A and B are shown apart, each in its own frame.
Chain A
Amino acid sequence: MSATTHAVAAYAVTILLLWGYAATLWLSARRQKTNDNQDNAGKYPQGNPGSNRGGSDPS
């Protein structure tokens, strides 16, 4: 392997690991947000009188 190949390999490894981890965290955050939205939808179902989403009109 030439010196240039070594240098390029070092940069490729670094970029792959750092930005790969950043992408993983971003995807995890998105998944968590989706799960939270689903949980909230289950917690406050349409038509639940205890909820301000849907259901009876408080006025």
Chain B
Amino acid sequence: MNTLKKKIWTAYWLATAAMFAAAVAMVFAWTPTEATMGTVQKVFYLHMPVAINTFLACMVTFIASIGYLWQRRQVWDDLAASSAKVAVLLCSIVLLTGMIWGHSAWGQWWTWSPRLTFSLVLWLLYVAYLVIRPSIESRQRRALVSSVYGVVAFLDVPLVYLSVKLMPDIHPSSIALAPEMKLTLLSCFVPVTMLAAGLIAARFHLQRAETLSMQEADDPSLDVIPVRPAGGLT
């Protein structure tokens, strides 16, 4: 990574951290408390942006999987795997924050409502994606199986989104927000999205380096030590 890229990358992370800290401060110090649910409603400002970013991370895996099936280039598989890891992390946060909210609002940690069930299925699908990958030794076969799986697993995302609209559910389908609350939600959405994108990019960078070093190890001809011709430069 050259110096300019490194500086931009550092600035990106510092800006994300600053905006994240400002957003959290805004939630607790500035945003009014919701009348019905009280303080626990503040979980919403983090829960919803993380949930949307989970969908986006799943979508990146979906698009990258299609990219691999179309072009058979390893770079697509690396992107799909990186994004799936971040999707699992984000989905875990959605489930955990949702459970904390549910315990306070509904008096129970978990209920088998459609939205919650499809969210858990989504988490399980992407955990399975990550578990299956290392069990396949051939790189091409792993990429092919993962890509097909990545496309199929994405079908759960619309189910998670539409479940509260199409089926009776304890999970709220929409919440009326005051203008200050909308501003806070936007202030949380920006750094969470920047963080999710940064994590996918960082994981992808690592994944590419791992893939290239493995390709180098598999194919010794790539590992060329420059040798001068005999009687060359003297």
Contact = CB atoms under 8 A, between A and B. Distances in A.
Interface of A: 1-4, 6-7, 9-11, 13-15, 17-19, 21-22, 25-26, 28-29, 32, 36, 43-44, 49-52, 58
B39 interface: yes
A32 B43 contact: no
B10 to A, nearest CB: 11
A21 to B, nearest CB: 6
Given A1-B104, A22-B198, A29-B205, A10 B38 contact: no
A13 to B, nearest CB: 5
A49 to B, nearest CB: 7
Contacts of A7: 28, 39-40, 42-43
Given A17-B89, A50-B226, A32 B100 contact: no
A50 B43 contact: no
B222 interface: no
Contacts of B43: 6-7, 10-11
B97 A32 contact: no
A2 B40 CA distance: 9
A52 to B, nearest CB: 8
Interface string B203-234: 10110011000000000000001111000010
B96 interface: yes
B40 A26 contact: no
B190 interface: no
Contacts of B68: none
A6 B40 contact: yes
A6 B199 contact: no
12 contacts: A1-B104, A3-B37, A6-B40, A6-B104, A9-B100, A11-B43, A18-B89, A25-B202, A49-B228, A50-B225, A50-B226, A50-B228
A11 to B, nearest CB: 6
B100 A22 contact: no
A3 B106 CA distance: 12
Contacts of A6: 39-40, 43, 100-101, 103-104
